[in-house]
Amino acid sequence: MSKVVLITGANKGIGFEVARQLGHAGFTVLLGARDAKRGEEAAAKLRSEGLDVRYVVADLDRAAETASALAGQIQKEFGHLDVLINNAGIFDLTGGDSPASTVTSEALKRTFEINFFGTVEFTQPLLPLLRGAESARIINVSSGLGSLGLNSDANSPFYPVKPLGYNASKAALNMFTVDLAWELRDTKIKVNSICPGYTATDLNGNSGTQTIEEGAEAIVRFAQQPDDSSTGGFFHKDGSYPW
């Protein structure tokens, strides 16, 4: 039986490419998206490549509700979940998310609601299914901008980039990774934060310098990591980042 992976925000960008690559690696892919039309179209495109891909509702505005419904569906059809990739996230491109002295409370709250609270609430109902797998992986798609070390290092390329909402939400997501990995330390579930790198996607107005394939690389690799590999870490395609 093929392994089952659930990917949020997978109807486009990095999530879609991760779905494609893991589908070609033999996974049954549950392609999560908020919008049914876009999700179905994305899943159909991957099925046309001969992949086992099904659209599922994954809406971080209703994270606990949609994850609980999904958990019931997955339990009924598969009985377990091998990989959860928390890829969905937002970045406020309107100007509201700015440095600490000018960031709006609306941008802060909205960004945290999706990138942090939504991810935590979405993950929790799925943990019993991950515990039911022979070995499981949780990947939280983070960013080097969430690294306190890189944010305070004048020699880092991340140093001058200071949208408080996004950076702080990814730092909080990294803490979720650390805490959950500790809690699951005696299980066969590995939990890691992965930075895809500055990839050209809608999230950044397609200003990124990496290709989608490059952005998917580390996520795909860690979704298939062996049982004796790291947990509770912060990685990118070429190594690791400081917290």
- The catalytic residue among 3, 55, 170, 237 is 170
Spell out the residues 6+ positions from residue 48 whose beta carbon is closer than 8 angstroms to its own. none
What does the CA dihedral 74, 80, 84, 88 come to, rounded to 10 degrees? 10
> Tokens at residue 28, please?
């049954």
- The rounded distance, in Å, linking the Cα atoms of 200 and 207 is 5
Contacts of 74 (CB under 8 A, 6+ apart): 4, 6, 30, 80, 81, 126, 129
Look up 166 and say whether it is catalytic: yes
Catalytic residue among 166, 190, 198, 241: 166
- 170 is an active site residue: yes
Query: Which residues have a catalytic role annotated?
Result: 166, 170
